[in-house]
Every structure is written in structure tokens, then in C-alpha cells.
Amino acid sequence: MSNKVSGAASARIWPWVGVLLVAAFPFVAQSLGLEYYTDFVMRLLIAMVVVTSLNFLVGYGGMVALGHAGFIGIGAYAMVALVEAGITSVWLLWLGAFAITAIAAALIGLVVLRTRGMYFLMITLAFAEMIYYVAVSLRMYGGDDGYILSAPLTFGFGLTPGNTYVLYGVVATVVVASFAFFNRLIDSRFGKVIVGIRDNEVRMQALGYPTFRLQLKAFIIGSAFAGLCGALMMTQNGFVSPTTIHWTYSAELLVVVALGGMGYRWGAILGAGLWGVLKEFLPQMTEYWHWPMGVLIIAIILFAPNGLWALFSQESAGPRGGWRALFRRAA
């Protein structure tokens, strides 16, 4: 009993420790002369929200989508369109990107959710590739060369994204709020029902749950947050190109989710953190940095098939699994 109590207490404490570390990082980096890594941590935080949204779909909803990057692109290009329309408020741009991505996800979800397994994976890939080629054909937004954001944006009260520390504070706040949202969503009745549909859809239908409508809502939520992250990336980088939407990035996101622990609430965050750090620092050590990345993935498949978080968590993976469950659901 005492172990369970201590485990529950640590589960409540560690998220707050993470929030404090995120909040303190810019000040620590500045004192150490490492201001560059403030931008790096910002990119890492945004990536963590992306994989958290995908983990909700794949790990909890059982919807193995190979087109999640397409919604990142929709959010980014929606922000571009709104900027070209004369909107300069970052809050309105982010809200608009979120809403437009949600609408696009609703329309796409009405089609893709009529399939299962490998067919679902392939049709989400097909839609992502369609979005990619639409972005390439948009000459007014740079086409294949991408779009450079030149319009001055503002948060209001004289604050602009051009100030790295202001942007970091706002992005960190949005990221923490997103984590809190998904954490509550997973524990909610809706989250439990989504897990039930993942485990046995026929039984949930027999109990009277409108499974298609509930899955569509989950698909919209996960995709809309990916679109929001696309807008966050656009605000930070001031640039977007169709390569962001390419299917290889969607595949990378799936790998990151399985790496950290698919179906564990903090697993995807761990995977994104490790993957981002390795991609940042390994190329500085060797030009053959893909080799250790590949070895790491093979080692995790062999020795931690449920993902890295399963090694540290007392939470049972159950039918969630990791790599094996990913392949099983795709099939």
C-alpha cells in the first residue's frame, strides 16, 4: 500500500518539477551563455505536444495514422493564409490555425474512419500526400521553396514574437496547458470510452456508444493540436515549407511515440525529448550519426518492446504495448 501511495505522490510531483525546469531554463541558459538552446528547447516542447496528440490517437484510440504531419502543415499554411489576409495578432492566428485544422480533420475523418488497420494507415498517408502536393502547388505561398514570414506579428501590449524570451514564455505556457488538457482528457469518461473502443469496438457498440462519432471527435482533437503546433513552429521559425508535411516526418513521429511508450501518458514526451536531443547533438559528434540512432531503435525493440517509459513506470501496458502493438494495430 505504501508503495502505491508513494508512486501516486511522485506521479503528482514530477509534472510540477517539469514545469519548473521548463520555466527556469531560459534564465539558466542565459547565465551560462547558452542562449541558442532556448530556441532548441522551444522546438523540443512543440514537438512534445505533436507526439502527445499522436499518442492520444494511436496509443489510446488505436488509430495508427501515417499522416499526422499533414495536419501540422495545414495549421502552418492556415496561419500563412491568415497573415496574408492582414491578421497580425498571434493569438488570432493560432486560434484560426487550430479551428481550420479541426474543420479539415472533421472532413478527412469522415472518410478515413470508415477503414481499419492497414487500410486506415494507408488512407491517412494518402491524404497527407495530397496535402503535401497542394502545398507544393501553392505558388502564392512559395510553392516548393516555402514561405518566409515577413509581416510583423504581435501578442499585444507591445510584446512581439521577435523577443525570444517572450515567445518562449508564451509557447511554454501553451505547451503546459496542452499537456494538462490531454492528461485530463485521458482520465475523463470520454478518454475511457475511447480506450474501450480501441480494445473492443463491437462490445462498445453493443453497450450503446456511438463509436464512429466518438472516434471522429478524438481524431479532430488530436489533429487540431497538431495544427496548432504547426502554427507555433511557423511563429518560431518564421518559415514553412512542404517538407514539413512529407510522409517521412509522419513516420518519424510514429517511431518517436513507440520509442517513448505508446499508450503511456508521458511516454511520447520522453521519446520526443530523447529523439530531439540525439538529433541535435549526434551530428556534432559524427557525420555518421544515423548509425547510433538506428542501433538505439533496434535495442529498444529488443529490450524494451513496450517503450522506454515502461521501464520506469509501474503502470501496466496491458493491450497498449509498444512496437508490437503498433504493428498489430496497423495490420
For range 312-327, the mean pLDDT: 57
Query: What pLDDT does 4 receive?
Result: 46
Query: What pLDDT does 244 receive?
Result: 86
Q: How far is CA 80 from CA 46, 50, 97, 230, in A?
A: 18, 19, 9, 11
Q: 146 in a domain, yes or no? A: yes
Q: 317 in a domain, yes or no? A: no
Q: 157 in a domain, yes or no? A: yes
120 pLDDT more than 80:
yes
237 pLDDT more than 50:
yes
In percent, how much of the chain has pLDDT > 70? 89
For range 76-105, the mean pLDDT: 95
Least trusted range by pLDDT, from 26-40, 105-119, 183-197, 312-326: 312-326
Cβ-defined contacts of 198-204 (< 8 Å, 24+): 198/60, 198/61, 198/62, 198/319, 199/62, 199/319
Split into its structural domains, the chain has a count of 1
Q: 302 in a domain, yes or no? A: no
Q: 69 in a domain, yes or no? A: yes
Residue 216: which pLDDT band, with cuts at 50, 70 and 90? very high
Q: 238 in a domain, yes or no? A: yes
Query: What pLDDT does 318 receive?
Result: 45
CA 139 to chain centre: 28
For range 124-142, the mean pLDDT: 91
For range 16-21, the mean pLDDT: 75
Q: Which domain holds residue 200?
A: 16-246
200 pLDDT more than 50:
yes
Q: 52 in a domain, yes or no? A: yes
pTM score: 0.89
164 pLDDT more than 60:
yes
Q: 320 in a domain, yes or no? A: no
